[in-house]
Structure 1
Amino acid sequence: MMEFLLQVKVGALVGLLFLTLLFGLIPARMKWFHDTSGTEIHKAVLSFVSCFAGGVFLSACLLDIIPDYLSDIQKELQIRGLDNGFPLAEFIMACGFFMVLILEKVVMSFREAHREEERSPLLAPVGHGHADGHHSLNDLEGSSHHVHVDRHAHSSFRSFMLFLSLSLHSVFEGLAIGLQTTDTKVLEICIAILVHKSIIVFSLSVKLVQSEVKPMWVVLYVTVFAMMSPLGIGIGIIVIEAELEAGAFIQAVLEGLAAGTFIYITFLEILPHELNSPERPLLKVLFLLCGFSVMAALSFMG
């Protein structure tokens, strides 16, 4: 029985690896996603795909990553008698948020020292640099221009942090499979994670491509990301065999830091970039809702 369970887990590991790679490499390798000089329809469709991906990440943040973390950390805090009124679980998430914020500002300040010319559009008042004045319709258009400049100034760093937080979460998802003791439960969780990860990795790949990450790096990011859940399954199998307990609290804290990172990337990078642009705002919101709804439906179905 134990031998069969191990075979099911190894099968889940291989299946997760190859399917995640397949879905992740579609946007990475298809020229359509990289083409920035396409027609207006092409640009609009690409924008809607990006909004759908934004909805997927918003749902992953609010309905998956944060609830999973809060459930795990509360359990560990109660076991260790640290549940004393101070919101430690939320504080750990805030630490993750500020960690990325501080890191980004440090990276930005180093870049500004080398490329002083990038600073002026970021700090200039709305409408600055538009001598003819017809671009200063309202603050929204000005802000979208600023977000655009900001995104290209440090998109590579934010893309890396998005990849890192999702990868860490994937390890914990794999761990959930590796720690199971019945083959039916392994298959149930594996199918749920397969569907979930296929949509997430496709959305991640779209975001990496749109952040102008080099194709070779996109392939590398997707490959490493695809290996994270199998890695988690492997760690889970080892933990079951060795019967380790001390790692649960460290795992919960790392989940919290990853959740804080994901909050930062979702609300300060992905959503502002999609929604601050003045073109087709209602359709963008509709596709954002579609992405959110698909992930919410998957969560509801368990």
Structure 2
Amino acid sequence: MEYLLQVKLGALVGLLLLTLLFGFIPARVRWFQDTHGSETHRTVLSLISCFAGGVFLAACLLDIIPDYLTDMSAELAARQVQTSFPIPEFIMAVGFFTVLILERLVLHCQERSAARGEREPLLHAQGHGHGHAEAVDPELESRGHHAHVDLQAHSPFRSFMLFLSLSLHSVFEGLAIGLQNTESQVLQICIAILVHKSIIVFSLSVKLVQSGLRPGWLAAYLAVFALASPLGIGVGIGVMEAHLSSGALVQAVLEGLAAGTFVYITFMEILPHELNSPGRQLLKVFFLLLGFCIMAGLSFVD
């Protein structure tokens, strides 16, 4: 047990350091933050964003949702709950509509605030002042100074929900490591999570950079996300050491809410944003498929 604990602590440190390394590449490298470069530079940034969209799509369909449905079904079976009502799917829907309602409330408040300030003449001239998708300066759009058309697609609120859902899922991934009782299982799961999370945190960092977060907030987001899996490992170790078995149903419900959140972010924000932006449509689809296939291949190997 002593050696097993050392392996788990090593996995905790490894996940923390590797996540920080890959997360801070887009956050610290100026190349990823420059949206006023050449046409080639903006195209590469757009393709990287499409690749990230494919990664998130695969994470949603092949990782987060299957894990949640498996855990929830196991808990319902263990508690002998038999009903024709789709409880797991309903919990996901609750997570989906929670994010939808919160976002609409935020946008409603922004619209009312903008309506009160429309008497200011400079606000109309700025073009981007209201934050609406249709308020795009034609000159800026024609010059390509902004890589995308939808100005709400990378809003700080959506970026926060993306970060929150991925962080919650990372806690559960770490929990899976902490609850293992053999060294080989710990190493196998840890290697798989290391590979997956390196790609996901890089993609998340790209999205956070595109949302225009301040450097301090961006660093805080990445630090918290990096700590999510180690936190899960720590909780799992504590449960194993204390021989506790309760709380599995609460974990499954939280997984379902996180899955519903991630479904909203993937299908209402990431994919429409990338596919609706003009230019190089086939190449964007290719990079979207590339990101999906890489994650699918890693899931198949696992």
CA drift at 1:56: 0.2
Q: For 2:186 and 2:247, locate their aligned partners in 1 and report how far apart those are by CA, in whole Å.
A: 21
What is the SS of the residue equivalent to 2:72? helix
Q: For 1:176 and 1:55, locate their aligned partners in 2 and report how far apart those are by CA, in whole Å.
A: 25
Partner of 2:269: 269
What is the SS of the residue equivalent to 1:149? coil
Alignment of 1:213-228 (within 5 A): 213-228=213-228
CA drift at 1:245: 2.0
CA drift at 1:67: 0.2
Alignment check: 8 A CA contact 1:176 1:233 kept: yes
What is the SS of the residue equivalent to 1:151? coil
How many equivalent pairs are there?
A: 282
With over 3 angstroms needed to count, the CA separation of the structure-2 counterparts of 1:174 and 1:287, relative to structure 1, is same
Q: Does 1:106 align with 2:105?
A: yes
With over 3 angstroms needed to count, the CA separation of the structure-2 counterparts of 1:74 and 1:36, relative to structure 1, is same
Identity of aligned residues (%): 67
The one-character-per-residue Cα deviations of 1:14-61 (angstroms, maximum 9, x if unpaired) are 000000000000000000000011000000000000000000000000
Partner of 2:296: 296
CA drift at 1:85: 1.3
Alignment check: 8 A CA contact 1:55 1:290 kept: yes
CA drift at 1:278: 2.0
Partner of 1:229: 229
Point out where structure 1 has 5 or more consecutive residues left out of the alignment: 136-143
Alignment check: 8 A CA contact 2:32 2:45 kept: yes
Partner of 1:240: 240
Aligned AA (2:301)? M
Alignment check: 8 A CA contact 1:74 1:83 kept: no
Q: For 1:31 and 1:123, locate their aligned partners in 2 and report how far apart those are by CA, in whole Å.
A: 29
Partner of 2:153: 151
What is the SS of the residue equivalent to 1:256? helix
Root-mean-square deviation over aligned CA pairs: 1.8
Alignment check: 8 A CA contact 2:131 2:152 kept: no
With over 3 angstroms needed to count, the CA separation of the structure-2 counterparts of 1:122 and 1:86, relative to structure 1, is same
CA drift at 1:80: 1.4
Q: For 1:234 and 1:288, locate their aligned partners in 2 and report how far apart those are by CA, in whole Å.
A: 35
Partner of 1:30: 29
Partner of 1:208: 208
Point out where structure 2 has 5 or more consecutive residues left out of the alignment: 119-128, 143-147
CA drift at 1:187: 0.5
Partner of 1:97: 96
TM-score w.r.t. the length of structure 2 is: 0.90
Q: For 2:8 and 2:88, locate their aligned partners in 1 and report how far apart those are by CA, in whole Å.
A: 31
CA drift at 1:110: 1.5
Alignment check: 8 A CA contact 1:174 1:232 kept: yes
TM-score w.r.t. the length of structure 1 is: 0.90
Partner of 1:75: 74
Q: For 2:29 and 2:41, locate their aligned partners in 1 and report how far apart those are by CA, in whole Å.
A: 14
